[in-house]
Structure 1
Amino acid sequence: MRESGPFIHLFKTSLGYYVYDVNTGQVLKIDKGVYDYLKNAGREVDELSLEKVNLLKKEGFLKSNRVKITEHPYTLLLPDALQTRVCNLILQVTQNCNLRCEYCIYSGNYDTRKHSNNRMSFEIAKKSIDFLIEHSKKRHKIYIGFYGGEPLLEFSLIKKCIEYIEKVAVGKEIGYVMTTNATLFTDEIIDYIVKHKFKLTISVDGPREIHNRSRIFANREEGSYDIMIKNVEKIHLKYPKYYQECVKFNTVVLTDDGFSCLENYFRGDELFADAYFSSSTVSTAYSKKDKKVNYEIGDKFIQEQQYELFKLFLGKLEKLDLKYTSVLLNGYFSYLKRLETSRGQNGRMALPEKWHRGGPCIPGVTRMFVTTEGKILPCERVCEIADISHIGDVEKGIDINKAQNILNIEKFTEDKCHECWAYSECTTCLQCCDSNADTIRPNILKRCKQVKNTLEDALKDNAVLSELGYDFESDSMIGNPERILDEELYDV
């Protein structure tokens, strides 16, 4: 059997050559000679480069270790965690909505779910809350989120849930979360969510002409922008401190409009200039074959997005006032920061023989999504009608075996995963799978190229920023930029 070479990924930027060492999770700056030596698997012998490679090995890098057995390290801990550490309950209070956004997962263009008149009864909500309280004994803070459809269609139910949880969650800190289209706010609702310090995510797709193209009312051919923006302005004016601390926005980017028109709008409006945004393009996952959901990302969009990213990096490097930089890209920058800081903290020198790739969260523990009917799913983003997604219900509780199966989703693709350089930083989970059990493996593998491309771009961005003196831990420039690999290691 051929001996495996070092488990690494090579990349280069305008500032130099790098190796991502999979076993340690570290990025090392190397010279061109070492880069070429590693790229050619040592076939072209350069004595100086060989000496430097051997020095790296002596320092603990360039190991060939691969994971041999798929088992998530939390597998044996999951039963106890589901008994005592559940912390985040999300209630699907309704499957209905007062809007009919054409790209919505409930629009009927997807295989996963559709709008309906189903609404959660207080009995199911109460049992869900009881489950949360009973299974969160080792959690001081718990969260309850309200999800739809449009959750504010069931505002009376939300109030009853909060009254109940505040009565039974003795000694616990409670956080409230909601995503809304912001068209149903009244003074009463606004005062109520501010009083209870809801973490609020409001959906806004851009200026009026763009927002109204997709986000139209269900009962009339009319866009929702004017009502939404009026309500956002009301919160901003009446409760500025709450607005700054608790309100963020989500934008579905319609790529045919380009990136700059959205960016210019959000950056130029005082409502959004200092806000936190998460953004995404339209998902084509689960789309029905006879109802094509097609939002291609064109060259113009990519060029404009990359230009805004360049400006954001200039801002972080203190070469441009941050007020001129993108608000839509702060979600990507948060990803860069998480990637850099988590890699620096893992303290790992080699992959263990038994492990699991990145991607899945702890089902039922990290999040617990309860449908209108009382079924328990690992989160609100998975396919609602897939059997694998149903890990229990509020009557019988969570099926440990099904939860462990989702936790160890790598088993569907372990032959590929164990040889993948993006193993530790993979982001693929059950979310990409549909209702057909036979397509779980191909659906996961379909995302591999995207995951690896995204990770490589992020590693390049982080390497350049670090080289130029940006420190992710302090979110600031440092006086003497540290090289990713100490140059003294090369004094041979």
Structure 2
Amino acid sequence: MKSFTFSTARGNTYVYNDKNGFIFPAGQVRDYHACPAPEKKPEALPGQVQDYLLTKGYYQLILETTQRCNLRCRYCYYGDYYKSTRNHSSDSMKFSTARKVLDDYMTHYRTIRNKNPFRKANISFQGGEPLINYGLLKETVNYCSQIYGDCEVNYTVTTNGVLLYDDILDYLTDHNFGIIVSLDGDKPGHDRNRIREDGSGSFDQAFQAIERLRKRHPGYHRLGISVRLDYLSDLDALDAFVTENKLFVTDLSMVSPGETDYYRQFSPEDKLRFYRQLSRLREQYFQAAKEGSVSLHRCSLLLPLFSSGYEMFACHPVMQEMRPSFFPYTGSCIPGEKIFASVDGTYHMCEKISSHFPIGDAEHGLDYRKIAGYINQFNSFAGRCSDCRITRFCSLCMAQAADHTALSLPSAYCRDKKACVKDTLTLYTECLEESPCAFDRFTREYLEERSRITGSLPY
């Protein structure tokens, strides 16, 4: 079986079995060093892709309402640091385009709902800054309510918060939007990167919008913040800020490292300071998890900072991790499960991938032949995965593998990922040796709350 052994600080040895995602004491497993039989090279056919997506696809539609933005964040994916993405432009989506996209998505959603009546339609508005084209957002929601009133639709918007005026806040809350505000911490932490064209910071308006929302709609439960980190981020200050202001972090990640020169600005000392902070906070997280401490409340930075790393062990639903035979490796989405519609109606796999890999358009729908081609290109370098012992927890996705012209395996990715998974699994197991239920409540409750706000799957 595909497995590996690891030992904890207590001297106990365990076996991780990648076939089912289970962990066993080494003495209970035989032949765990046996090599798996060679697997047939997977191949995706357009018909297979279509059958799969008409059962499990079309989970989320993301509308790029505009490519305009009123900020010029230094780490922006559409800024100067990224070489394979578009720059800022004045283009915005027209309602005629949005209507075609929406009709295509909702028609297929209804087909899938007939097979799975618990499925919701998920529609997100992004940009640029989506509220620059607020009229399109309203037209789209009103059209969806009129034409598809029989469908349960979950709406979300990701905004920098600068344009969250009172009338917009009222409309979003009236329609139960998940409102995600990009906020990188307190004023110094936020204004370091999230700036206007004139170089001034945007913290005051973004944070005041959150405060106004809370005053106008007390107890509104679908508000979260999205945070980006780099090596100059002060994690202690960020933790104090989100705790003091009772902010729920729905998304926390490092500035994307792919195809960018952004990280050249940081010194070895910057990186060392950052990782020392991270290591100390991780120790606090483990200690609080073992003790069942109240310090792990819903607004603690420790939860988004570390729970996403341990949810893959603590909360992974084994049956849902069964991959289709034509795309068996890594945790990549199958193109078409999520659809990112750009301003001109072109479909992409997600909002994070280069525009050089379209998967359809509003006029013709998804191009299953093109999707199958991307999957086979991905499978061609993922062929070594048949012998890999961490396929269940590999997070390599299409966006990470995409460059200007082709999909390829990022340098040193496999080596680094294997080491990371093994280290994380060892720490996770050491914690469970002291407290078997350490992750049950905190990890589950955080992920469920995040799902309520964003509409994403909880695990």
TM tier, smaller: 0.7 to 0.9
Q: Which among 88, 107, 128 is matched to residue 115 of structure 1? A: 88
2:315 counterpart residue number: 341
- Name the CA distance, whole Å, in 1 between partners of 2:147 and 2:176: 19
Determine the structure 1 residue equivalent to 2:17. 21
Q: Does 1:459 align with 2:459?
A: no
Distance 1:314 1:82 in 2: 43
Opposite residue 470 of structure 1, the aligned amino acid is: P
CA deviation map 1:29-57 (0-9, x unaligned): 33xxxxxxxxxxxxxxxxxxxxx5xx622
Deviation at 1:228, TM superposition (A): 0.9
Q: Among 332, 335, 341, which residue is 1:370 paired with?
A: 341
CA contact (8 A) 1:360 1:429 kept: yes
Q: Which AA in structure 2 matches 1:342?
A: H
Q: Please name the residue that 2:238 is paired with.
A: 262
Provide the C-alpha distance between the structure 1 equivalents of 2:44 and 2:392, rounded to a whole number of angstroms.
Answer: 13
Q: 1:357 to 1:145 in 2, by over 3 A?
A: same
C-alpha separation in 2, matches of 1:314 and 1:254: 25
Which residue number corresponds to residue 330 of structure 2? Answer: 358
Query: Bigger shift: 392-401 or 135-144?
Result: 135-144
Q: Which shows bigger deviation, 174-183 or 333-342?
A: 333-342
CA 1:326–1:229: 2 relative to 1, 3 Å: closer
Q: Could you tell me whether the CA contact under 8 Å between 2:378 and 2:398 is conserved in 1?
A: no
Q: How many pairs are equivalent?
A: 431
**Counterparts in 2 of 1:163-202, with a 5 A limit?**
163-202=142-181
The alpha-carbon deviation at position 412 of structure 1 amounts to 2.7
Query: Aligned-pair distance for 1:325?
Result: 9.5
Deviation at 1:415, TM superposition (A): 3.9
Write out per-residue CA displacement over residues 153-179 of structure 1, whole angstroms, 9 at most, x where no aligned residue: 010110001111111113110100111
**Conserved in 2, the CA contact under 8 Å of 1:183 and 1:224?**
yes
Q: Distance in 1 between matches of 2:123 and 2:175?
A: 12
CA distance in 1, matches of 2:404, 2:324: 33
Q: Which residue of 1 aligns with 2:374?
A: 406
TM-score (norm 1): 0.80
Is it true that 1:278 corresponds to 2:251 in the alignment? yes
TM-aligned CA deviation for residue 311 of structure 1: 1.3
* Contact 2:3 2:18 (8 Å CA) reproduced: yes
Greater shift after overlay, 463-472 or 139-148? 463-472
Q: Which residue of 1 aligns with 2:203?
A: 225
Quote the residue 2:274 is aligned against: 301
Counterpart of 1:176, as a letter, is: Y
**Separation in 1 of the partners of 2:324 and 2:101?**
38
TM-score, structure 2 length as denominator?
0.85
CA distance in 1, matches of 2:79, 2:264: 11
Q: 2:188 maps to which residue?
A: 209
1:153 partner amino acid: I
Cα deviation, 1:325-371, whole Å, max 9, x if unaligned, reads 983332331441243332666799xx99986112221211x211100
Note the aligned Cα RMSD (angstroms): 2.9
Distance 1:358 1:27 in 2: 19
CA separation in 1, counterparts of 2:395 and 2:369? 22
Task: Measure, in 2, the Cα distance between the counterparts of 1:116 and 1:476.
Answer: 42
Alpha-carbon shift at residue 374 of structure 1 (Å):
1.0
Q: Aligned pair in 2 of structure 1 residues 472, 144: CA closer, same or farther (>3 Å)?
A: farther
Deviations 1:4-30 (A, max 9, x none): xx6322322213322222333222233
Task: Name the structure 1 match of 2:214.
Answer: 236
Structure 1 SS opposite 2:138: helix
> How many angstroms does 1:79 deviate by?
0.9
Counterpart secondary structure, 1:184: coil
1:250 equivalent to 2:234? Answer no
Matched-pair contact (CA < 8 Å) for 1:201–1:249:
yes
Counterparts of 1:468 and 1:65 in 2: how far apart (Å)?
33
1:151 maps to 2:130: yes
| Paired position in structure 1 for 2:456 | none
Q: List runs of 5+ in structure 1 lacking aligned partners.
A: 1-5, 31-51, 478-492
Distance 1:270 1:468, change over 3 A: same
User: Residues 240 and 367 of structure 1: is their aligned pair in 2 closer, same or farther, counting only changes over 3 Å?
Assistant: same
> What corresponds to 1:102 in structure 2?
74
Aligned equivalents of 1:21, 1:86: Cα separation in 2: 32
What's the counterpart of residue 283 of structure 2? 310
CA apart distance, 1:323: 5.3
CA distance in 2, matches of 1:147, 1:346: 28
* CA displacement 1:406-442 (0-9 Å, x = unmatched): 345542313422222222221101111344335x324
SS at match of 2:101: helix
Q: Secondary structure at the match of 2:293?
A: coil
Rounded to whole Å, the distance in 2 between the matches of 1:82 and 1:344 is 20
Contact kept in structure 2, 1:82 and 1:135, CA below 8 Å: no
SS at match of 2:428: helix
